Amino acid sequence: STGTRHRITCLILYCHDTVTFASDGCGGELAQLRQQEQLLKRQLQKQELLLRSLQLMTQQGNSNDAGADQVQDTQHADCSQVYSSGFQSSGLYRIRPSGSPSAVKVYCDMTEGGGWTVLQRRVNGTEAFNRSWIEYKDGFGDLNAEFWLGNDNVHFLTTQGNYSVKINLEDFDGHQRYAEYKNFQVANEKEHYRLSFGDYVGTAGDALTGSYQVPEVKWASHQGMKFSTYDQDNDNYKGNCAQEDKGGWWFNKCHSANLNGVYYPNGHYSASTDDGVVWYPWRGWWYSLKTSIMKLRPVDHKTHLTNDQVAVSLKPPS
């Protein structure tokens, strides 16, 4: 139509900006276009400001990853080396244990003397731990919340030196206990991640040897046990402990400790099997713990902190 041709002509004149004058009708069209242009520019400026704000929020939200970015190229073998290099804030870092094919992101706990590489955390039951063999092999969960680091990673960590494992436990009444074992080592997948460990110290009781108030060490000890999951049965039981107790672990026939069991939110529980988050010597088989944290550190780790500065923390940073 004539009106459409007139508008197109005005658009062409406006876009090429080669016209020194225009008819009255075309001038009106150009004025409208200039107003629209200014409006679009203001909208674009607002969107750019919003984008910059979102980017800033994302950077702040990922502040726990700062450590990972800072040390990702240094390839420390564990969190003890991260600590010794001067990074002494708990958070996410990249390490590369000896023998590991690639760097791995881990949570470093810099409390209690620092240098702890966390291999497991249970705090609220948000993560399912009844997982397959491949999931336990590779690891799963959220490093800032509940997770399993991965059996391959634990193997590479514990076979590059003499490591202690410290297990921090908390019940639903706020009471806290710990168990620590020297010479903690996990074999490779070919050996089904067989577990071995040395002397115990702590306040939670020696559950891993199965000798604390347990009449039959032969079926309760976890020493030398292979890892089992619901889809790979490597225990000494006629059935499948991992399937019955709903989590991967170093089962015997079946356990005096199972920190990867079902998370019951009230502590005491009833079930067909003792499938909770269990540490038998402390709260028995029929009490599921609120918090479980397993972490590794070389026995010869050197802390730069005084005794008064060492802080105990069972919960991850908020």
Task: Average the pLDDT over 182-204 and give the result.
Answer: 98
In a domain, 42, yes or no: no
In a domain, 101, yes or no: yes
Give me the pLDDT at residue 306, please: 46
Give me the pLDDT at residue 213, please: 63
**37, 38, 44, 45 alpha-carbon torsion, rounded to 10°:** 160
- pTM more than 0.95: no
Domain count for the chain, please give it. Answer: 1
Confidence of residue 210 (pLDDT cuts 50, 70, 90): confident
Query: Does residue 5 have a pLDDT over 60?
Result: no
More reliable by pLDDT, 114 or 309 = 114
Closest to 222 in 3D by CA, of 190, 188, 248: 248
Domain that holds residue 249: 79-298
More reliable by pLDDT, 136 or 25 = 136
Give me the pLDDT at residue 28, please: 72
> Average per-residue pLDDT in the chain?
84
Buried residues in 280-318 as b, exposed as e (16+ CB within 10 A): bbbbebebbbbbbbbbbbbeebebeeeeeeeeeebebee
Query: Does residue 1 have a pLDDT over 90?
Result: no
Confidence of residue 39 (pLDDT cuts 50, 70, 90): confident
* 107-139 pLDDT, tens digit each: 999 999 999 999 999 999 999 999 999 999 999
d(CA 276, CA 262): 5
Crossing angle between the packed helical segments 2-16 and 24-61, to the nearest 10 degrees:
60
In a domain, 309, yes or no: no
Distances from the Cα of 268 to the Cα of 51, 173, 264, 280, angstroms: 49, 12, 8, 13
* CATH number, position 173: 3.90.215.10
d(CA 241, CA 152): 22
Contact 118, 107 (CB under 8 A): yes
In a domain, 174, yes or no: yes
